[in-house]
Chain A
Amino acid sequence: QVTLKESGPTLVRPTQTLTLTCTFSGFSLTTRGVGVGWIRQAPGKAPEWLALIYWDNDKRYNPFLKDRLTIAKDTSKNQVVLTMTNLDLVDTATYFCARRSVVVGATDWFDPWGQGILVTVSS
C-alpha cells in the first residue's frame, strides 16, 4: 500500500522560509521511473503544481515559483523535502505531496496524494 504524509510548520511569518517533509511508504525513490511531487491548493482554489523530483535526482519546478523552491530527496529515509523561501500571505494553502504515476508514453499524473498540511502565512 502506497502512502504519503506531509509534515512541517502550520504557521509561518511573512518573508520566512518554509520547509515541508513528505514521508512515504510502499515504494522506493530508487526505482526507475518513480517520482514525488508537491502540489498546493489555496483555500477555494484549484491545485497548483510546485515541484517534482525523480528517482535519478532530476528535478522540475513550476516556472513561476522556481526561484523560491528547492526539492530534495533522502532515499534512506523515504522522504522528499520541499523548501520555499520568502513566504507571502498568498502562499497560504494546503500543501500536498503525491507520487508521480506514469506509463511509458503517457503524461504524468499524481496518485496517490498525502492528506495535506495547511500552512498559514501570517504575521
Chain B
Amino acid sequence: QSVLTQPPSVAGAPGQRITISCTGSSSNLGAGFDVHWYQQFPGVAPKLLIYGNTNRPSGVPDRFSGSKSGTSASLAITGLQAEDEADYYCQTYDSSLRGYVFGTGTKVTV
C-alpha cells in the first residue's frame, strides 16, 4: 500500500554525509503536501525528526536536514554518528487515497 518509496538501506562511515530519498507521486508530494521524517530505534515508537519539509523540532541536532522538490524529498545527515543507526521513515498525505501515508523505510548503518 505504501506510495512513498525509500531505499531499503543506506550506509556511511562516521563523519560522512548521507542522504535518504523519498519518492512519491502527483497525488502526494507532487500535489504540494509537506513531507515529514521520523527516526525509529528498535523496540520504540517513531520520533519526529523533520516536519514541514525542512523544520527541526526542538532538540533535534542540526546535523539532520530535510528538503523537498516536486515528487521527491530527501533527508540528509551530516557528520554521521554511531547513534544515528536507526530506521527512518518519510510521511505525507495522499489525495487519491485520502489518507496519511508513510514511506517504505530506510535502515541507516554507520
Contact = CB atoms under 8 A, between A and B. Distances in A.
B97 A46 contact: no
Contact of B45 (A63, A101, A115): A115
B92 interface: yes
A119 B44 CA distance: 15
Contacts of A109: 34, 36, 48, 51-52, 91
Interface string A77-103: 000000000000000000010100101
B1 A48 contact: yes
Interface string B7-32: 00000000000000000000000000
B104 A46 contact: yes
Contacts, number: 70
Contacts of B101: 49
Nearest to A103: B52
A42 B64 CA distance: 27
Place the interface of chain B in its size category: 20 to 34
Place the interface of chain A in its size category: 20 to 34
A113 B89 contact: no
Contact of B51 (A96, A101, A114): A101
Interface of B: 1-2, 33-36, 38, 44-48, 51-52, 57, 89, 91-93, 97-105
A9 interface: no
A46 B2 contact: yes
B55 to A, nearest CB: 9
Given A64-B1, A107-B34, A108-B100, A113 B92 contact: no
A3 B103 CA distance: 25
Contacts of B48: 101, 109-112
